[in-house]
């Protein structure tokens, strides 16, 4: 299969395929006599695997590990589980940080409800104050 066909079937663009090749996530295919890349049929499966893993929050470094584990035996399931649990913990931290930022912004925005003549912008003051700190 040519690059454009693999990309279309996997739902990515051709540049993504080339990037995955450079990263080592997708094996560099042999070339046809005309110099075109000639991907095997399983390249689509690999690209879809990478995209689904990314959709679940895995980094490309982690996807590389998952691809290696996918080629192994039952004990690799434990390693994949550990990687997923680690990713879940990181996501929980990010979610907590985002929720904290949202609450903080909501409190600052709420101060904007005061009459215009009775207020100075707490939001801008808060951001300015924090910018002066190391």
pTM: 0.74
Instruction: Give residue 133's pLDDT band: very low, low, confident or very high (50, 70, 90).
Output: low
Answer whether 17's CB lies under 8 Å from 7's CB.
yes
Q: Where are the domains of the chain?
A: 3-131
Q: Thinking of the domain 3-131, which architecture would CATH place it in?
A: Orthogonal Bundle (1.10)
pLDDT digits 0-9 by tens, 49-58: 999 999 999 9
Contact 39, 1 (CB under 8 A): yes
What are the tens digits of pLDDT across the range 1-16? 999 999 999 999 999 9
């Amino acid at each position: 299969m040519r690059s454009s066909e693999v990309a279309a079937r996997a739902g990515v663009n051709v540049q993504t395929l080339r990037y995955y090749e450079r990263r080592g996530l997708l094996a560099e295919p042999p070339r046809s006599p005309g110099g075109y890349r000639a991907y095997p049929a399983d390249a689509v499966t690999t690209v879809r695997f990478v995209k689904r893993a990314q959709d679940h929050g895995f980094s490309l470094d982690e996807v590389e590990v998952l691809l290696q584990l996918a080629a192994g035996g039952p004990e690799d399931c434990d390693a994949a589980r550990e990687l997923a649990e680690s990713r879940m913990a990181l996501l929980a931290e990010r979610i907590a940080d985002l929720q904290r930022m949202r609450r903080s912004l909501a409190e600052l925005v709420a101060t904007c409800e005061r009459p215009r003549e009775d207020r100075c912008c707490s939001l801008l003051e808060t951001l300015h104050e924090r910018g002066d700190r190391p």
